[in-house]
Chain A
Amino acid sequence: MPTAPDALRFTPPLDALKLTGIRKTFGGTTILSGFSLDVPEGQRLALIGGSGSGKTTVLRLIAGLERPDAGEIELFGRQLPYRRFAGRLIPDDPPEARELRRPVGMVFQHFNLFQHLTALENVIEAPIHVLGQSPAEARRAAMALLDSVGLADLADRYPRQLSGGQQQRVAIVRALALKPRVLLFDEVTASLDPEKVAEVLAVMRALAADERVTMIIVTHEMGFAREVADRVVFMQRGVIVEDTPAAAFFAAPQDPRSRAFLNLAS
């Protein structure tokens, strides 16, 4: 049965990620109320919206840094184990939850490199101590990854000896070293000097060329989102306002709020 490649891209058989009815409040402020989102495997999703729209919270929920007040999170068809306790959801069986989250990696706005470890040591830490790789094996893989982002020469530097752009590239490599199937990017260029933004975007562009990794990118870089994303989800106050293929979104945003946001952002 002949199908257009584009259609295939938007309806693959397996969802990498499925959020259903997520509710999240912080100290009385509702950030998400009944938020749902399906992300097919391999998709590049740009999650955009103003500050306070809840987009970072969505990433943090997926990564397990926040827990939902209600709702379900599914990764590759398997539901993350939460149970209700005293009216709240708490992680049920943390080791199993960690295991199920194994395919998820995250990169932060402020890099968050381990300051007491060199670039190389930052990268090999989890492969050795979480995956149980041999140091030699982890080192070899890490050096290859560092080399691919142009940092092989700086492998033995400490984070404070690196520029912001270099630190962020190390942080991306650190996430990649665990061979994630889903990568979450939380405003990874937002705290970089303008001239360093390009070097980080170049790394992400190269990553996006690799068809296997599902990417959810929270960003204010509209040009980059337009270039890399297949799909744009525009959020405001915890609600999805517009959810369309990226090309359509940037050509002709449907909702007046998206139009206003795009005008401001560009």
Chain B
Amino acid sequence: METLFTTVIALVPRLLDGAVTTVAITLLTAPVAALLALIAGLARLSHVKAVAAAAVVYVELFRGTSLLVQLFFMFYVLPLIGIELSPWTTGVATLALNFGSYGSEIVRGALLAVPRGQIEAALVLHMPPSQVLRRVLLPQALPAMLPPFGNQLVELVKATSLLSLITISDLAFVGNALAQTTGRVTMVYVLLLLIYFAIAYTLTLAVRALERRYGTGATVAGAR
């Protein structure tokens, strides 16, 4: 006789396959998104008007439209104009562009939060601008970015489920398939929720650990 236990045993390995894909997409996308965020955030603060304007266009375009529609556009429309990308490339690129646009505002805010006087102090010490950025601004701005970036990372885990709609066998894709083929709808979706939560919460804890080590709170607490 089939018990609850044996059902779970039967479903979990296949769901875990999907979970591995979800985690892989997240871990591939996050650094690309962070890099885009850094570049766009810095570009917004550039004195060169064209650079700042290009960043504004990018950020507003990707922040102001639906992620799902962006995915479909990249997946269905780009091939029509001769750009053929694999589903994985399409998925990771779209997610990274979308999350990079949100992240750029985090970067911009954190950079602006460093008191201007310190930039002037660095300049009168004859540091070139690149050094001011690397040695004065970023060491103080990066810790301030950690909590909001952690938030974005959890958002990203959940957003990866949209990639199931462009044929990627991630956790949501596998779950949907299992629900249909086994008929165990409740069980499958409960397990799906639990696994998403486990992934997201693990990442949250990881970011908290980073915050304790490098975050603003760490330096304030460590000061006394």
> Which of A's residues lie within 8 Å of B, judged by CB?
63-65, 94-95, 98, 101-102, 104-106, 108, 110-116, 125-126, 129-130, 158, 160-161, 171, 174-175, 178
Q: Which residues in A have their C-beta under 8 angstroms from that of B121?
A: 108, 112-114, 171, 174
Q: Which of A110, A111, A130, A158 contacts B125 (CB 8 A)?
A: A130
Contact string against A for B residues 40-82, beta-carbon threshold 8 Å, 1 for contact and 0 otherwise = 0000000000000000000000000000000000000000000
- List A contacts of B126 (CB < 8 A): 98, 101-102, 126, 130, 178
6 nearest A-B residue pairs (beta carbon): A112-B117, A112-B121, A126-B125, A106-B124, A63-B124, A116-B139
What B residues does A161 contact at CB under 8 A? 223-224
For window 58-117 of chain B, which residues contact chain A by CB distance below 8 Å?
115, 117
B118–A114 CB distance below 8 A: yes
Q: Which residues of A contact B12 (CB under 8 A)?
A: none
Q: Are A125 and B128 in contact (CB under 8 A)?
A: no
* Complex interface: chain B residues within 8 A of A171 (CB): 121
CB distance B120 to A112 under 8 Å? Answer: yes
Asked whether, in the complex, the Cβ of B223 is within 8 Å of the Cβ of A125, the reply is no
Given A129-B135, A161-B223: A108 and B123 within 8 A (CB)?
no
Chain B residue numbers with a CB within 8 Å of A110 are: 117
| B121, B122, B128, B136, most chain A CB atoms within 10 A | B121
Bound-state Cα–Cα, A64 to B123, Å: 8
In the complex, 19 of the A-B residue pairs with CB atoms within 8 angstroms, ordered by the A residue number, are A64-B123, A65-B120, A65-B123, A95-B128, A98-B126, A102-B126, A105-B124, A105-B125, A106-B124, A111-B117, A112-B115, A112-B118, A112-B121, A126-B127, A129-B135, A158-B219, A161-B224, A174-B125, A178-B125
Given the known interface contacts A108-B117, A110-B117, A161-B223, the answer about A116 and B140 at a Cβ–Cβ threshold of 8 Å is: yes
Which residues of B sit under 8 angstroms from A129, Cβ to Cβ?
127, 131, 135
The answer to whether B223 and A158 touch across the interface, beta carbons within 8 angstroms, is yes
- Closest residue of A by beta carbon distance from B140: A116
Given A108-B117, A112-B115, A114-B118, do A160 and B223 touch, yes or no (CB 8 Å)?
yes
| Nearest A-chain residue to B219, judged by Cβ | A116
Q: How far is the CA of A129 from the CA of B136 in the complex (A)?
A: 12
Bound CA span A64–B121, Å: 11
Shortest C-beta distance, A188 to chain B (Å), equals: 13
Q: A98-B128, A113-B121, A160-B223 are in contact. List 15 more A-B contacts (CB 8 A).
A: A63-B124, A94-B128, A104-B124, A105-B125, A108-B121, A112-B117, A112-B121, A115-B115, A115-B118, A116-B140, A116-B219, A158-B223, A161-B224, A171-B121, A178-B125
Question: For residue B120, which residues in chain A have a CB less than 8 angstroms away from its CB?
Answer: 65, 108, 112
CA distance A175 to B124 in the complex (A): 8
- Please give the distance in Å from B34's CB to the nearest CB on chain A: 20
Which residues of B have CB within 8 Å of A101? 126
A161 to B139, CA, bound (A): 19
Report yes or no: A65 in contact with B131, Cβ–Cβ below 8 A: no
Chain B's closest residue to A62 (CB) is B124
A106 vs B122: C-alpha distance in the bound complex, in angstroms? 10
| CB neighbours of A63 from chain B (8 A) | 123-124
> Residue-by-residue, is B124-145 near A (CB-CB < 8 Å gives 1, otherwise 0)?
1111100100011001100000
**B222 (CB) vs chain A CBs: closest residue:** A158
Chain B's closest residue to A127 (CB) is B125
Question: A63, A102, A112, A178 — which one has the most chain B CB atoms within 10 A of its CB?
Answer: A112
Q: In the complex, what distance in Å separates the CA atom of A95 from the CA atom of B219?
A: 34
CA distance in complex: A159, B120 (Å): 17
Say yes or no: B223 contacts A114, CB within 8 Å: no
- A130 and B124 contact, Cβ closer than 8 Å, known pairs A116-B139, A125-B135, A158-B223: no
Q: Which residue of A lies closest to B116 (CB)?
A: A112
Q: Which positions 16-49 of chain B face chain A at CB distance < 8 Å?
A: none
Q: How far, in whole Å, are A171 and B120 apart by their CA atoms in the complex?
A: 13
**CA A50 to CA B128, docked complex, whole Å:** 34
CB distance from A62 to the nearest CB of B (A): 10
B128-186: which have CB < 8 Å to A? 128, 131, 135-136, 139-140
Is A114 a contact partner of B136 (Cβ separation < 8 A)? Answer: yes
For B123, list chain A residues within 8 Å (CB).
63-65
> What is the bound-complex CA distance between A125 and B136, given in angstroms?
10
A107 to chain B: closest CB distance in Å? 9
Specify which chain B residues have a CB less than 8 angstroms from the CB of A113 in the assembled complex. Answer: 118, 121
Q: Which residues of B contact A64 (CB under 8 A)?
A: 123-124
Whole-angstrom distance from the CB of A82 to the nearest CB of chain B?
16
Residues of chain B contacted by A94 (CB below 8 angstroms): 128
